[in-house]
Chain A
Amino acid sequence: MKTKKVALSAMFLSLALILGVIENYFPPILPMFPYLRLGLGNIVILLSILLVGKWPALLIVSLKAVLPAVFVGRPTMIMYALPASLVSYCLSLILVNLRVTSLVTISGVSAILHNITQILVASILVKDFSLFKYLSYLILLGAITGYISGLIVHFSLKYIPRQLTSNVITDDLDAKEG
């Protein structure tokens, strides 16, 4: 059973990385924030929290933030990507376990937090907080992209065949956690 989880996690990581590459072909949404992307990787992260559990998902999130920087050879990218990814991962993990909101809302809220964290890190790095005057746009864009990818998560979860998400994986998870 563990093999299945490892294989699934690896698949999710590669999917997240591929989506990140595809994202790079789109032009930046706002010219002043070249780091701001559509956040398609968010889809995979939310799905992996649900399908393979929180610890593998944490690994996927961290590697998704670190590996592109290693491939391209720009270590500074890690400083922009990693904190934001981790913060939004924590928020979506908490919200998923609360079971109060729908996946769409979870995705939207965590995308907003991702954007805010990224701009905070950028402001600290360049020691200039004037970037915060774009905060409303950042929240708006985060909401739009987050809600769109949340819809994708919602519907893909509905149509993923049950054999893939069967109790085999989750029972194994429970045995480990409990």
Chain B
Amino acid sequence: MKKEKSTLIEHYRNRKLVKASDIIILSIILILIISFIFILPRHKGGSKVEVYENGKLIHSVSLHKDQVIKIEGKLDIHIEKGFVYIKNSTCPDKLCQKHKINKVGGQLICLPNKIIVKIVGNAKVDVISR
């Protein structure tokens, strides 16, 4: 026993890089990672979509409930699976229809209609500062 103990270094020096036990542990780790990706919620509720017209807040709805907000004569705001986008805008350039937003801080701005759509959240921790 004592003899064996004195060769701890030799044991690892002579050991093969990969054995069955290593493969088993690696696959357990991979399974854990994949299952955590599915188990843990991507968005921790509470994020809201706010719609401003002429700088005034006219709608404040949940990001996680799919719906369509129609603003008469101007545009439709679609909320779908955590994404927000604009359709049927009456503005000439249609720039506001070019992209989708899904994160806190994201904004859709339609200048001709003076509409701003924002995603706001209550994330308490953005960064742990040093």
Q: Which bracket fits the contact residues of A?
A: 35 or more
Q: Are B17 and A102 in contact (CB under 8 A)?
A: yes
Q: Identify which of B15, B21, B25, B32 contacts A139 (C-beta below 8 A).
A: B32
| A130 and B21 alpha carbons, distance in the complex (Å) | 34
| A126 and B8 alpha carbons, distance in the complex (Å) | 42
**A-B CB pair tally, cutoff 8 Å:** 98
Q: Are A157 and B13 in contact (CB under 8 A)?
A: yes
User: Which residues of A90-122 are within 8 A (CB) of B?
Assistant: 96-97, 99-105, 108-109, 112, 122
B contacts with A, residue count (CB < 8 A): 36
> B residues within 8 A CB of A157?
9, 12-13
Q: A residues engaging B (CB < 8 A)? A: 31-35, 50-51, 74, 77, 96-97, 99-105, 108-109, 112, 122, 126, 128, 130-133, 135-136, 139-140, 143, 154, 157-158, 165, 167, 170-171, 173-174, 178
> B residues within 8 A CB of A143?
29, 33
Identify whether the interface residues of A are mostly helix, strand, loop, or mixed. Answer: helix
| A140 and B25 alpha carbons, distance in the complex (Å) | 14
Q: Which residue of chain A lies nearest to B15 when distances are taken between CB atoms in the complex?
A: A102
Q: Are B9 and A103 in contact (CB under 8 A)?
A: no
Q: Identify which of B2, B11, B128 contacts A178 (C-beta below 8 A).
A: B2
Given A105-B21, A136-B37: A128 in contact with B124 (beta carbons within 8 A):
yes
Q: Are A100 and B21 in contact (CB under 8 A)?
A: yes
Given A101-B22, A139-B29: A96 in contact with B8 (beta carbons within 8 A):
yes
